[in-house]
Structure 1
Amino acid sequence: MELIDRPLVHPRRKVTGFRPIKAMRHFGKLVADKEDTEQVFQIIDALKGRKSVWQMADFIATPQARMLLERGEALPPLLDDHARWAKCAPNSLARRYVEFMEREGLTAAGLVAESHKFKPKDERFEDLYEWYIERLRDTHDLFHVLTGYGRDPLGELCLLGFSYEQNHSPGVLFIAWMGARQMAKETGMRAPVMEALAEGRRLGREADKLAHADLLTTLPDDIDAVRARLKIGKPEAYRQCLRLFEDLPTREGGWQVQLPESQARAA
């Protein structure tokens, strides 16, 4: 079935309401292992409601969404084809994305695999809602590159704050707020951490919706021009908080992770 011919919501899809106890249980697992990406998907699923379906339907009704659906592109294989982007300019979004992914040892396919641990094939339906949530997933690392938020714990939390204001998923805000609360407790730096999270949310409100943009065709463009076009501001409070973290003693399993020098230059 062609993407554009899929129903909005498959008749067998169940959109559950809030399950806060389940969310708290999975958040505890995420705190214990901050690299356990599956827990993020579990929390988002536990706290999603019908609003996500309404947002999807509003987007699908736009000419931009129809154009993307008609093209029918699968983002992960195109994003993972690094040779495809090798001739782009050094400061292009494409080259900056490839540098980020290779430096972090990440692939778009890897994030897909993590999401499939949470949701096996028989729970994925051929509807436009599935396409929409997959697009939110597949553009996550492009969000990192465009916003300048790193993969350190504070960067991930600030990016979640940014993403919440873009897509209004309660589970995303829950992880961001609870994670910031935990980080503030461990570092003793409540004000800077909360300020960085608040900044992320503000930047997300002010920017155009990144997942709704035609990011694939903008990959060859200069990243600063793309940021200006999409109204993406600079994460100054985040960077200041990272500088404050440098003076804290490193603690195994803690949140005090500073931005690597190479990534700081790229931000």
Structure 2
Amino acid sequence: MAKLPPYPGTTGRRDWKTAFAAIRKLLANGDDTTQVFRIMRALNVGNAPMNYAKLLGAHEGGRIAYERVELAQRLSDPAFVAGFAPGTVGAAYRDWLATTGYSADGLVEVSKLEPDSNEIQHPYAWFGRRVRDSHDLWHVLTGYKADESMGEAALVAFSYAQVGGLGWAFIGTAAALKSIKATGSRLFAKAVWEGYRHGKKAKWVSGEDYLTLLDEPLEAARARLNIQEPVAYKHAQAVLGPKMASYMSQRREEAGVAPAATPPIDGERIAA
């Protein structure tokens, strides 16, 4: 297979200084989502060409790349989301939106807190938006909650196993290590490790036609994609309790930090 060229304007070098500065700010304030995108740009060198090439080699991947559907536009259309039959992935996503108060266009806006190269007209940028805009669908498919730090960290680990990129690994590892000190337990970290293992075992979800997947029964989709039950994650939830599972939000409340103006998005609630 021919090697694809690098992302336009990139140097090919990882910026560890920026990444470490950003992770310190992120762990101090999980709502500072801007730091997530700094980490991704600093560390995910070479990730875009690798994943775009993988998509082209996937079943139906060439057609998906040719059509270049913008998921955020479709998932932000109330009529589109309302049309899914009960029991489908789309219906579960609709329920998830109602429960969390999040939205597809809300995640896009968060990603624009800082100028983002993913908005340029380029196939790699489109794939990056595709990963970003499918993030909440992955919450639905995996069962990891979006309104708690542990669920986000576990999905970050799942995402690293699926699409690579050291930025994902850096954030997931930092959250897991902080959790040990914050909770006095390794259960949070074990849930994150389980997320990585499940991501490795699952089919490559980024190669899926999401518009077709949304109409598929949820449990059938999970079985077909080999997305396993998050046993360690649910055990940690039960033992640690909701507040400890969401220790970042708890610590912000204890410190008197005001909530974000946008929906409550922890730092690990991230995009490509």
TM-score by length of 2: 0.82
Task: Answer yes or no: is the 8 Å Cα contact 1:186–1:254 preserved in 2.
Answer: no
Q: 1:238 is paired with a residue of what secondary structure?
A: helix
The whole-number CA distance in structure 2 between the counterparts of 1:140 and 1:244 is 27
Shift of 1:44: 1.1
Shift of 1:202: 0.8
Which residue of the partner structure matches residue 149 of structure 1? 144
Which residue of the partner structure matches residue 95 of structure 2? 99
- In the alignment, structure 1 residue 229 sits paired with structure 2 residue 229: no
1:123-138 paired onto structure 2 within 5 Å = 124-138=119-133
- In the alignment, structure 1 residue 29 sits paired with structure 2 residue 20: no
Shift of 1:215: 1.5
Which residue of the partner structure matches residue 4 of structure 1? none
- In the alignment, structure 1 residue 215 sits paired with structure 2 residue 213: no
The whole-number CA distance in structure 1 between the counterparts of 2:54 and 2:116 is 27
Shift of 1:120: 4.5
Residue 247 and residue 173 in structure 1: after superposition, are their counterparts in 2 closer, same or farther (change >3 A)? Answer: closer
1:9-158 paired onto structure 2 within 5 Å = 12-120=8-116, 124-151=119-146, 152-158=148-154
Which residue of the partner structure matches residue 262 of structure 2? none
Whichever residue aligns with residue 195 of structure 2, its letter is: G
The whole-number CA distance in structure 2 between the counterparts of 1:182 and 1:199 is 17
Shift of 1:64: 2.1
Task: Answer yes or no: is the 8 Å Cα contact 1:10–1:126 preserved in 2.
Answer: no
Which residue of the partner structure matches residue 251 of structure 2? 252
Which residue of the partner structure matches residue 163 of structure 2? 167
Residue 209 and residue 188 in structure 1: after superposition, are their counterparts in 2 closer, same or farther (change >3 A)? Answer: same
Shift of 1:214: 0.8
Cα deviation code 1:118-172 (max 9, x no counterpart): 3347x84322111111111111000000000002100001001100000111010
Which residue of the partner structure matches residue 258 of structure 2? none
Shift of 1:230: 0.9
Residue 247 and residue 66 in structure 1: after superposition, are their counterparts in 2 closer, same or farther (change >3 A)? Answer: closer
Task: Answer yes or no: is the 8 Å Cα contact 2:176–2:192 preserved in 1.
Answer: yes
Whichever residue aligns with residue 57 of structure 1, its letter is: A
The whole-number CA distance in structure 1 between the counterparts of 2:119 and 2:39 is 17
The whole-number CA distance in structure 2 between the counterparts of 1:124 and 1:75 is 13
Structure 1 gaps of 5+ residues are 1-7, 256-267
Whichever residue aligns with residue 213 of structure 1, its letter is: E
Structure 2 gaps of 5+ residues are 255-272
Cα deviation code 1:229-256 (max 9, x no counterpart): 111101010010011112977843289x
Task: Answer yes or no: is the 8 Å Cα contact 2:7–2:48 preserved in 1.
Answer: no
TM-score by length of 1: 0.84
Task: Answer yes or no: is the 8 Å Cα contact 2:7–2:46 preserved in 1.
Answer: no
The whole-number CA distance in structure 1 between the counterparts of 2:26 and 2:168 is 13
Root-mean-square deviation over aligned CA pairs:
2.4
Q: 1:253 is paired with a residue of what secondary structure?
A: helix
- After TM superposition, what 4+ stretches of structure 1 lie above 6 angstroms from structure 2? 247-250
The whole-number CA distance in structure 1 between the counterparts of 2:54 and 2:105 is 28
Shift of 1:220: 1.9
Whichever residue aligns with residue 237 of structure 1, its letter is: A
Q: Percent identity?
A: 31
The whole-number CA distance in structure 1 between the counterparts of 2:75 and 2:30 is 25
Whichever residue aligns with residue 180 of structure 1, its letter is: A
Q: 1:246 is paired with a residue of what secondary structure?
A: helix
Higher relative contact order (CA 8 A, sep 6+): 2
